Amino acid sequence: MSTALRQTLTGIAGVLLALAVWQLAATVGPFADSPLPSATASIAEAAALLATPAMWSATAVTVAIALGGLVVATVIGVVFGVGIGVSPVLLHATRVPLEFLKPIPPIVILPLAVLVLGPTWQMGMFLTVFGCVFAIAMQTSAGVFDTDPVALSTSRSYGMGRGEILGRVVLPSALPYIGTSIRVSAPTSLIIAVVAGLLGGGPGLGQSLLQAQLAGNQPQLFAYVLILGILGLCVQWGSQAAERRMLHWHPQYRKATF
């Protein structure tokens, strides 16, 4: 049996075990008399939701907000990170403000965003950009700053200009840092897009979750949770595949290929 097949079977077994524990806990276990629905009821409700256009529409809106916010955050973060990474003075001058802003969760500024932008997709995208841009900028600046000085000196000795050095030496050196920051930020963007609808009233799956909660429809609520979990796995796998393709030349991924 190959290693990949063994890992796949182990993962499937882990999922089935978790569902079995959930089913037993909700039927005969300590949560038998609680509002917690059983795993079978939630899965059946999720299957029913998959047949409704409203669920797919809400999913499309959530993915669009998350992906759009991630793209905008990547562009701003990479440009800003390169700008401060090429200058040690700017790097150290901006380190404290960035470290201060990075751990602030977007939910803190959600009331202000709703007040200014309203419960709209623009509000969700703004929160997504805010939640991802600082981490991408910091990783980019670190990658630029850590460029091999020997490579920089060699490129200058060959008469390369600043723009050519930036495009052919600095950015390729920083790509692993940028790729890692985008991969980490991708699930974060999805979480923020859902929270924007759940707590801010914006469109998408978060709003659907809120409506199911307010209606007291527990099976549907947990069905949306399952759908969000599957969507999160897809986002994670997609970001890993994109990073692997973008960095196919990197030694880490070349070793994984053979």
- Residue 54 domain-assigned (yes or no): no
- How long a stretch of residues is the chain? 258
Q: What is the pLDDT of residues 167-183, one digit of tens each?
A: 888 888 888 899 899 99
Q: What is the pLDDT of residues 65-76, one digit of tens each?
A: 999 999 999 999
- Residue 44 domain-assigned (yes or no): no
Q: What is the pLDDT of residues 108-132, one digit of tens each?
A: 889 889 999 998 999 999 999 999 9
Domain boundaries, position 74: 61-257
258 pLDDT above the threshold of 50: no
- Residue 11 domain-assigned (yes or no): no
- Residue 238 domain-assigned (yes or no): yes
Count of structural domains, the chain: 1
The pLDDT of residue 86 = 83
- Residue 229 domain-assigned (yes or no): yes
- Residue 6 domain-assigned (yes or no): no
Residues 6+ apart with CB under 8 A from 70: 128, 132, 182, 185, 186, 189
Q: Tokens standing for 102?
A: 């990075």
253 pLDDT above the threshold of 80: no
Nearest one of 196, 216, 223 to 207, comparing CA atoms: 196
C-alpha to C-alpha distance for 123 and 101, rounded to whole angstroms: 19
- Residue 130 domain-assigned (yes or no): yes
Full-model pTM: 0.87
- Residue 248 domain-assigned (yes or no): yes
Residues 6+ apart with CB under 8 A from 60: none
Report which secondary-structure segment, H or E, holds 160: none
Task: Tell which wins on pLDDT, 47 or 97.
Answer: 47
CATH of the domain at 179: 1.10.3720.10
Q: CA 8, 12, 15: angle at the middle one, nearest 5?
A: 140
